[in-house]
Homo-oligomer: A and B are copies of this chain.
Amino acid sequence: MFQPQCPTRHLLDRIGTKWTSMAVKVLAEAAPGELRFSQLRQRMPGISQKMLSVTLRSLVRDGLVARRVEPTVPPRVFYRLTALGLSLDAPLAALRTWAEEHMPEIERNNHAHDAQEAD
């Protein structure tokens, strides 16, 4: 456990990157439907074109997301979660719920702690 090859370490390396978990959530909300590149951008405020591209490529490589290209001009590209990606959304949702419930307390702890050391 937690060896260099540790699966949890690898998973956190991925979902710990800034935009991955948000992409999974947005795609999970749209499932089983698909979202286009531009639709994803709209639903992920603040993300750059580059990082959306990088994030999606990584998710596709992991098999969490499927990519479908309509060979029109200009091309339209659709993304959707695979079954694997959908199964990841469950534990991620649990984490989101925890965050929403407890982050306020953590913020308070931070401020209390900072006030403490200002003595």
The interface of chain A, by Cβ under 8 A from chain B, is 2-4, 7-12, 15-17, 21-22, 25, 44-46, 60-64, 84, 87-88, 90-92, 94-100, 102-106, 108-110, 113-114
Asked if B98 and A91 sit within 8 Å, CB to CB, the answer is yes
Q: How far is the CA of A15 from the CA of B110 in the complex (A)?
A: 16
Asked if B8 and A63 sit within 8 Å, CB to CB, the answer is no
Q: How far is the CA of A78 from the CA of B70 in the complex (A)?
A: 59
List 8 other contacts, CB 8 Å, given A2-B44, A12-B15: A2-B45, A4-B46, A8-B99, A15-B16, A63-B110, A84-B102, A88-B102, A91-B98
A21 touches which of B8, B99, B110 (Cβ 8 Å): B8
Interface class of chain A by DSSP: helix
Asked if B16 and A12 sit within 8 Å, CB to CB, the answer is yes
Taking the closest CB of chain B, its distance from the CB of A3, in whole angstroms, is 7
Asked if A95 and B105 sit within 8 Å, CB to CB, the answer is no
Asked if B94 and A7 sit within 8 Å, CB to CB, the answer is no
| A-B CB contact pairs (8 Å), 20 listed | A3-B45, A7-B100, A8-B21, A8-B99, A8-B100, A10-B103, A11-B98, A11-B99, A12-B15, A12-B21, A15-B16, A16-B16, A16-B17, A62-B109, A63-B106, A84-B105, A84-B106, A87-B98, A91-B94, A91-B95
